[in-house]
Amino acid sequence: MWGMTTAHVTADTLQVRFTRREKIAGLVRDIDLPLAAIRDAQVVPDGLAATHGLRAPGLGLPGYRKIGTWRRPGHRTVVSVSRGRPAVQIAADHPRLDGLLLDVSDPEQLVAAIHGR
């Protein structure tokens, strides 16, 4: 129903593309994050459980779906995760965001691509 976020690693950038529905529901935009800004990337078994903070702005359907920006003191994470799915958790040093938490089709492959830069 929602479609799925896609992420692709180029020579120097992580390109994150949200579906039209995700953009509308979560008030998010596509992201081009320089690989040099990524501190760490790992797969977490449950993206919903790994989401922390308060939604501002975005969509949270308890126990089902989270899309948007989750904030806590000194930390801002762009999130797009679904129930029962692993997610890629990315820590970043970037002026607009401190992290990403993404439900993508092959999280292990994305993490390998980020670490293999």
Over its length of 117 residues, how does the chain's per-residue pLDDT go in tens digits?
567 899 999 999 999 999 999 999 999 999 999 999 999 999 999 999 999 999 999 999 999 999 999 999 999 999 999 999 999 999 999 988 999 999 999 999 999 999 986
Residue 108 backbone class (left: φ over 0; alpha: ψ -120 to 50; beta: rest): alpha
Burial class (CB within 10 angstroms; exposed 0-12, middle 13-18, buried 19+) of 99: buried
Indicate the pTM of the whole model. Answer: 0.93
Per the CB < 8 A criterion, the answer to whether 17 and 60 are in contact is no
- For the chain, give every domain's residue range: 6-115
Alpha helices (H) in 7-98, listed in sequence order: 20-26, 47-50
